Amino acid sequence: MIWLTWRQFRAQAAAVAAIALAFALVLAATGRRLADLATTYRDVFDHLTANDRHLFYAGIVVIAVAPVIIGVFWGAPLVARELEAGTHRLAWTQSVTRTRWLAVKLGVTALAAATAVGLLTLAVTWWSQPLDGALSSTHGSLPSRLTPVSFAMRGVVPIGYAVFGVVLGATLGAVLRRSLPAMAVTLAALIFVQIAVPTWIRAHLMPTAEQTVTFDRQRLDGIGISDNGPGTTTHVTVNTKGGVGNWVLSNQTVDASGRATGLPSWFGSCLPPPPAPGTTEGPVKVQGPDTLDACFTRLNAEGYRQHVVYQPAKHFWPLQWVELALFLAVSGLLAGFCFWWVRRRLS
């Protein structure tokens, strides 16, 4: 049965393995220089070439896409193609029980997916380690590894996504009994999961940290104005202590009673006027340092504080393992359902 599974699977496996290996080789060839850069300079960002930055984002895209591709092209047709072509009648009447047939097929495919994506994520994680959260001394940065942009494209979590993709695809294929619809639904479902997990789930996997801080220039990260005529609200974002690498979940101004609020209207006069329509928007120049400091002092005196909720950078690995465990557990449950469906409902 393992032989048959491998015989049916080897072409697809070879294709994915070739792509994964090629990408890993490119990373291996360029990665050493980055590691050297990081030990030499503090502001790595300023020493990167455009090519480096493209590769950085390519790494994110590849690891985001790989589990989806694997789920759609390995998982969805796994059972569906047999049902579609009627070959399940051939496979299920050899001297191998249906349970064993599915166990081997699903096991081999999931293992191959975990290996392929595991290799990729190992390469990408190693390669981008010096770059994650890299800052410039003046302007610009790369996202840190805990932010939703790159968390699921680093460490061990991508393996969980790949296994989940295969099991989800296989289950949908068994239920829908047609490859193409199964592939389409798998694609949609996996994209949804990749958006839903960072949006609604990941932040709650571990207790968050929070800080209520006073305003000062060192902490200022940016000031945003949404100009909707009268009642204009202004938002300030500030750095949390330790700053780099934290995943900020909410960054809100609270008044003296602790209620979330906007900044008081007088704060608007502390800021430069918005650029006139038609002019190009340059970097916002904060009015004279004295003015802003005075405004901050007044804000602090009136009881305004900035309330920041975040996942601290040190939660990266614990969160990785928890999310991996979550995906493997859900995959296990789904696989159980798949076995039940193939044994009972397809007869």
Partner 1 sequence: MTAVLRAEGLGKRYRRRWALSDCTLEIPSGHVTGLVGPNGAGKTTLLSLAVGLLAPTSGTIEVCGGRPAADAAQLAKVGFVAQDTPTYPGLSIADHLRMGAHTNPRWDDAVARSRVERLGLDPAQKAGRLSGGQRAQLALTLGLAKRPELLILDEPVASLDPLARREFLQVLMEAVAEHEVSVLLSSHVVRDLERVCDHVVVLVDSQVRVEGDVEALLDNHVRLTGPRRDPAALPADQHVVSASHTDRQSTFVVRTDAPVLDPSWTVGRLGLEDLVLAYMEGSRAVAAGPVLEVLR
Residues near partner 1 (CB under 8 A) are: 1-4, 7-8, 85-90, 92-98, 100, 344, 347
Tally Cβ neighbours within 10 Å of residue 327.
25
Residue 222 makes CB contacts below 8 A (sequence gap 6+) with: 236, 237
Query: Is the CB of 2 or the CB of 196 nearer to partner 1?
Result: 2
CA dihedral 155, 158, 159, 163 (to 10 degrees): 160
Query: Is the CB of 88 or the CB of 154 nearer to partner 1?
Result: 88
CB of 96 to partner 1, least distance (A): 5
CB of 92 to partner 1, least distance (A): 6
CB of 4 to partner 1, least distance (A): 5
Does residue 270 contact residue 264 with C-beta atoms inside 8 Å? no
Q: Return the H-helix or E-strand segment holding 140.
A: none
Exposed (0-12), middle (13-18) or buried (19+): which is 137, by Cβ within 10 Å?
Answer: exposed
C-alpha to C-alpha distance for 78 and 204, rounded to whole angstroms: 34
Does the CA dihedral 5-9-14-17 come out positive or negative?
A: negative
CB of 163 to partner 1, least distance (A): 26
CB of 142 to partner 1, least distance (A): 44
Query: Is the CB of 91 or the CB of 328 nearer to partner 1?
Result: 91
Query: Is the CB of 1 or the CB of 330 nearer to partner 1?
Result: 1
Query: Is the CB of 55 or the CB of 83 nearer to partner 1?
Result: 83
Query: Is the CB of 79 or the CB of 159 nearer to partner 1?
Result: 79
CB of 15 to partner 1, least distance (A): 14
| Cα angle 286, 290, 295; round to 5 | 80
